[in-house]
Amino acid sequence: MKALLAGLVIVLLILQWRLWAGTGGMSELQQLEAQLAVQQAENELLRLRNEMLENEVLDLKTGLEAIEERARADLGMTREDETFYMVIE
């Protein structure tokens, strides 16, 4: 009977060790949860960036103001009745 009890205690200790320190145990679970939190934060930033880009593309497809603003800012374009002055310091 004592041998059976000792054997059960040893099996219990082995199972507890595997649960807390072994492969797929609690320590690995905590590491994976931390990685998941980091990945979710990164995904949220990328989702916001994609949403902004999607809105910009939609605006460029539908509105002339956005195209004109982009041409003025990026290409330095002016209208026919405007005069462009460049100040060099």
Measure Cα distances from 74 to 52, 69, 83, 85 in Å. 18, 8, 17, 16
Q: Is residue 30 a part of any domain in this protein?
A: yes
pTM check: above 0.85: no
What range does the domain containing 38 cover?
16-73
How many structural domains does the chain have? Answer: 1
Summarised one tens digit per residue, pLDDT across range 5-55 is: 899 988 888 888 777 777 777 888 889 999 999 999 999 999 999 999 999
Q: Is residue 7 a part of any domain in this protein?
A: no
Please tell me the total number of residues recorded for the chain in this structure. Answer: 89
Q: Is residue 29 a part of any domain in this protein?
A: yes
